[in-house]
Structure 1
Amino acid sequence: MHFYEGHFGGMHLIWWIIWMAFIIWIFFIPTDIPYQRTKEEKPLDILKNRFAKGEISKEEFEESKKLLKSDN
């Protein structure tokens, strides 16, 4: 490392290393961070979505809902 008029000249290199470490950290951050985690759907939520989309009738919805609640 060189001294130039009393200033540490290697600081430039250290800042590049810090910035590169920061950029690498951003791209390789773990995917299990709470605010990034996708919500895991519960069976009742899936059933409600299917009913809302019209995939199942009201009778099928009620019957399936009773089955799900009896399992818990």
Structure 2
Amino acid sequence: MPLMHATWGAWPWIAPFWFLFWILLVFFVVRFVFWRRGAWCGPRGRMQGPDQILAERFARGEIDATEYRSRLDTLRQ
């Protein structure tokens, strides 16, 4: 008669791996969903285009209006 409990000997070693597997699976699914929405693209949340970065520099006073218009025209060409 075969021993039915012989396979339970590996349970203490297999259980932590299954637990880790499910945690990693949930983590990567959540990360993928947020990545697709653009929430993990940097400290501000979404990636910015060059015209948005230029507008922010102008708003902070790093460049003046003439330089802003000149660079914006260059970007749009």
Match of 1:20 in 2: 20
Q: Which moved more, 1:51-60 or 1:30-39?
A: 30-39
Q: How far apart, in 1, do the equivalents of 2:56 and 2:67 lie?
A: 13
How many residues matched? Answer: 61
Paired letter, 1:37: W
What is the TM-score normalised by the length of structure 1?
0.56
Q: Higher helix proportion, which one?
A: 2
Q: Which residue of 2 aligns with 1:42?
A: 49
Runs ≥4 in structure 1, deviation > 6 angstroms? none
Long gaps (5+) in structure 2:
none
Describe the superposition over 1:14-68 as per-residue Cα deviations: whole angstroms up to 9, x where unpaired: 8765432112332xx2765313331222110110010011100011111111221
Greater per-residue strand proportion: 1
The residue identity in structure 2 corresponding to 1:43 is P
2-structure distance, mates of 1:45, 1:52: 10
Determine what percentage of the aligned residue pairs are the same residue: 25
Q: Please report the TM-score for the alignment, with normalisation by the length of structure 2.
A: 0.54
